[in-house]
Structure 1
Amino acid sequence: MLWVLRFFTCVPFVHSGPIRAYILAHKDAIQLWRTLMGPTRVFRARHMAPDSIRGSFGLTDTRNTTHGSDSVVSASREIAAFFPDFSEQRWYEEEEPQLRCGPVCYTEGGIHCAAGTGGPGPA
């Protein structure tokens, strides 16, 4: 029943303004992002990880500034919700190998490509 209360207290905050959704790509992306965010509870974040995002900017436990998936399964589900046209399989097969080659460039539309591949950005 606690999750129902938490859900209904989060909904107004989530709808209170724009959000930015990202897909982070790294071998340990979930753990690294969760470390950068800091503990979920703002009081704990301020004392245990004061330089974390939540420690620096969190207001309350429901207004803690950030969200991050807690597992690969959650990440896949959340990626599908925010980016329905994104294919994890295609990304791993076609794009991920290119990104390991060096710097990444972005178009103004947010499309990325590896530098020197003939795409937008410096060659």
Structure 2
Amino acid sequence: MIHLEDSPLSETVHHERLRALIAGQLDDMQLVCQDHKVLINANYLVALFQSALRHLADEICEPFHYVKATRAYNAVPSSLAAHLAHYEEIGMQSGFCHEDLAPSIASALVMDHYIPVMLSG
């Protein structure tokens, strides 16, 4: 986690630090996926487009939410916040700082959004 409060830096600089961290983690995860041959493929796009078309047919006036669509069959557990807090607490007790813990949390959250059909092929 990046603590953004209590800093003389501008809001733009805060967001740039966060953007750079997330972009770096995305790049790292893409390399891991390439190494393990689990790149997202056309199955992912087919599932996404099918979901978008169903949404369009059912609720034409409502916006399509990509993130909700990726979680449709893999709901976020209500205990996620407690698990993240516990992970951070144990990490901090072990001498890690927020910047050390953020990459592993971000990677886990990104990978958790990929359901098996998105990675098959």
- TM-score, structure 2 normalization: 0.26
- TM-score, structure 1 normalization: 0.26
Structure (1/2) with the larger strand percentage: 1
By relative contact order (CA 8 Å, sep 6+), the higher-ranking structure is 2
